[in-house]
Structure 1
Amino acid sequence: MSGKDSGKAKTRVVSRSRRAGLRSRWPVLELAGNASKDLKVKRITPCHLQLAIRGDEELDSLIKATSADGGVTPHIHKSLIGKKGQQKTV
């Protein structure tokens, strides 16, 4: 049995990000997918990418560019956002 398989075990190449324990290679794409899933849409658009980047503090400080067709990130004042299960009385 001399040849290619001479008894050596195959070793799989492990990336640095996998060794560091990161979940995925492209966290922007994962966050954009979550944004599109929340809006019940099957395709990721530039708007979803913009929401993902601006929603994450680390990515927002890293990426300072404006994306084409990204739209405007909605800003809702904290006092207007109620907690879950709490109704606002007028």
Structure 2
Amino acid sequence: GRLRHRRRPQGEEVRGGAQAWRRPQEEGVARSVKAGLQFPVGRIGRFLKKGRYAQRVGMGAPVYLASVLEYLAAELLELAGNAAKDNKKARIIPRHLLLAIRNDQELGKLLAGITIAHGGVLPNINPLLLPKKTAEKEPKSPKKYALFCF
């Protein structure tokens, strides 16, 4: 038999080929939106699959990883913003990131092996190298001096 073309109602656009038989597809909601995240869940899931970290990747794994990464980024940005504010700057630079990481105990432990380009180093002087503090010299009174002379 012959294929019958469905009749289109007035005002509907003309679609040719396979599109003529398809129903209009409803737009889906991104998994990032469903999870309430800013980081891309779909992209992270794709990276997990392409990276061949495991044979199979569960549905919750990219959501969990995206939420962990988003939390770490928010924490680091907050600390770096505070460092920038302390230096009276409005823009976060690599130096502020380094200060934020190295001054925070947990982030410092997590990111101990990294080097940040143009980050510099933490200001640190070994106490042995500093000049020794001498006790304040009291003006010598003649009475005390006289006692030691005899």
Partner of 1:36: 84
Q: What is the CA distance between 1:77 and its match in structure 2?
A: 5.7
Match of 1:68 among 117, 127, 134: 117
Q: What residue ranges of structure 2 are gaps of 5+ in the alignment?
A: 1-33, 38-69, 131-135, 138-150
**Structure 1: which amino acid aligns with 2:102?**
R
Backbone CA RMSD of aligned residues: 3.1
- After TM superposition, the runs of 4+ consecutive aligned structure 1 residues lying more than 3 A away are 12-15
Structure showing the higher helix proportion among its residues: 2
Partner of 1:59: 107
Give identity over the alignment, percent: 50
Q: What residue ranges of structure 1 are gaps of 5+ in the alignment?
A: 1-11, 16-23, 81-88
Rg larger in 1 or in 2? 2
Question: TM-score, structure 1 length as denominator?
Answer: 0.58
**Measured at CA, do residues 61 and 42 of structure 1 come closer, stay the same or move farther in structure 2, by a change above 3 Å?**
same
Distance 1:14 1:43 in 2: 27
Question: TM-score, structure 2 length as denominator?
Answer: 0.36
Using CA pairs under 8 Å that are at least 6 residues apart, name the structure with larger relative contact order, 1 or 2: 1
Instruction: Show the 5 A alignment for 1:1-90.
Output: 25=71, 26-63=74-111, 64-76=113-125
Distance 1:67 1:13 in 2: 31
Distance 1:49 1:74 in 2: 14
